[in-house]
Amino acid sequence: MKVTVIGTGYVGLVTGACLAEEGNHVFCLDIDSTKIALLNTGGIPIFEPGLEPIVKSNRAAGRLVFSTDAGAAVAHGEVVFIAVGTPPDEDGSADLRHVLAAARSIGRHMNDYRVIVDKSTVPVGTADKVREAIAGELAARGRKIEFSVASNPEFLKEGAAVADFMRPDRIVIGAEDERAIGILRHLYAPFQRNHERLIVMGVRSAELTKYAANAMLATRISFMNELANLAEVLDADIDDVRRGIGSDTRIGYHFLYPGAGYGGSCFPKDLKALQKTAADAGRPLRLLASVEDINDAQKHVLFGKIRARFGADLKGRCFALWGLAFKPNTDDMREAPSLALIGELLAAGATVRAYDPAAAGEAGRRLAGEARVTIVGSAPEALEGADALAIVTEWREFRSPDFESIRTRLRNPVIFDGRNLYEPAFVARHGIEYYPIGRRAGGEAAARA
C-alpha cells in the first residue's frame, strides 16, 4: 500500500519506517529541510533502539522516501498520516497549529480520495477541525473530492517504540465510515496475524483513549511515589508493598515502581491538555491535578536526601550523576528529573559530573555554558573527585556496578538512588551509605536514621 506520513519526528519516523518494513511504500514529508537532508544521507535525528537499521534498509530498498515536497507527498499515499508535534500552549492546551497546517496542505494538493489519519496526540474534537480545514481548502479550489478523517493514536514507549509498533498490544482506530475502516484494517493486517488487535470505535472515543491511557499510567507512578514517601516515615519497605499489591491480578506489577518522578514529552504535556479539555467541558479532573503536583514534588525528593546528609550549603562539594535522560533507552531530556536535581545542586553551590549512555549530546546543548557541570564519557569517570553518587535514570549498565570501585573512587561512599536499583543490605556490606526511595537506608545511613 502507498502511505504518506507528514512529520518525521519521533512518532512519524517510527510509523513510516515500521510500515515500510512490512512492504508498504512510504513517503515521509517534513518542512524541516535540514532534517530531511540528514535522513537522506543516512542519519537519524533521534535515538531509538532498532530504528536506524530499518530506516536505512527500507530507504535502500526504495520503500521509504524523505522529502519536503508537499504536493508529491499528498499525491503518493491513499492513507495520509498526520504525525506532527502538538506542543503545549500557554494555557496547557495542545497547540494544533502544525496539525491544521498539515490538514490545509492536504486540502490544497489532494486530487483523489484519501484517508487522513490523526496519529499525533490531539484533543477530542480535533478530527472535526481537520475535516473542516481540508474541506475549506477544497472549497477554495472549487473541488468536490471525497475523503475520510480517522484517529489512530500511537501507544509507543520511548526506548521500545519499534517493538511496540511491530508487536502492538492494541491498534485503536477511530472512524465513522466503513471504507476508511476497511483500508486501515488492511494496512494493519500484518501486525495482527496471530490474533485480532484492532479496536474500532468512534473518532472522539479514540482521541480520548490516548489521553486516558497516559493519565492512568502517570497516576500509578504518582500513587507509588506518594506511598513510597509514606513508607519511609512508617519504616516500611515500598518494594515489599509493591510486590504485595502487584500480585493482585486486578492491579498488576506494571508502573508500580517509585522513583524520582516521571518526565518526557508525553505524560506532562498530555495531562495538561486533558485537564484543559476537561475544564473547558465543565468537568475538571481533580485527580490529575494532584498527580501533577505529586510528580513535581517528587523531582525534589532526591535533593532533599542529599541536603539532609550533606547540609544546605554544598559549596566545594561535587556530585556524580548517573543518568540524564528521563528514562533509559532514549536521549530525551524533556521534563527530566535530572534537570531538577542539577538545578538544585548548582543553586546550593555544588558542581556536577554527569554521565548518560545516550543523552550526552542533548545534555551538552541544554547545559551549554554551565561551567560547573561536566558531561563525561563513562560511569566510572563520573565518580572521579565526587563526594557522592546520585542515580537518576535506570539504565541497564547501572544495575550491577562494581561497588568496591564506587566506594574507593568517591570521597564519601554514599549513593542516593532515585530508581531503587539495589538491595540496601547488599550495598551496605560494601561499606557504602545508601539512600533509596521508600526503602530503609543502608550502611551508615541506617545508623544515622
Going by C-alpha positions, the residue among 435, 430, 394 that lies closest to residue 409 is 430
pLDDT at residue 352, as a whole number: 98
The Cα-based distances of 197 to 75, 120, 182, 189 in angstroms read 30, 20, 14, 9
Q: Give the angle subtended at the CA of 143 by the CAs of 185 and 79, to the nearest 5°.
A: 20
Cα–Cα distance measured from residue 435 to residue 418, given in angstroms and rounded to the nearest whole number: 8
Phi first, then psi, for residue 415 (nearest 5°) are -120, 130
Distant-in-sequence, close-in-space partners of 244: CB < 8 Å, separation ≥ 6: none
The DSSP 8-state label assigned to residue 271 in this structure reads: H
Cα–Cα distance measured from residue 1 to residue 404, given in angstroms and rounded to the nearest whole number: 57
User: How many other C-beta atoms are found inside a 10 Å radius of the C-beta of residue 349?
Assistant: 13
The pTM is what?
A: 0.92
User: How many other C-beta atoms are found inside a 10 Å radius of the C-beta of residue 321?
Assistant: 28
Which residue type is seen at 400?
A: S
Q: Which residue positions in the chain have pLDDT lower than 70?
A: 443-449
List the grid coordinates of 439.
Answer: 526503602
Over its C-alpha atoms, the chain yields an Rg (Å, rounded) of 24
Check if the beta carbon of residue 209 is closer than 8 Å to that of residue 152.
no
pLDDT at residue 447, as a whole number: 53
Quick: pLDDT tens for 185-243: 999 999 998 889 999 999 999 999 999 999 999 999 999 999 999 999 999 999 999 99
Residue 28 catalytic?
no
Exactly one of 18, 28, 266, 318 is catalytic; name it.
266
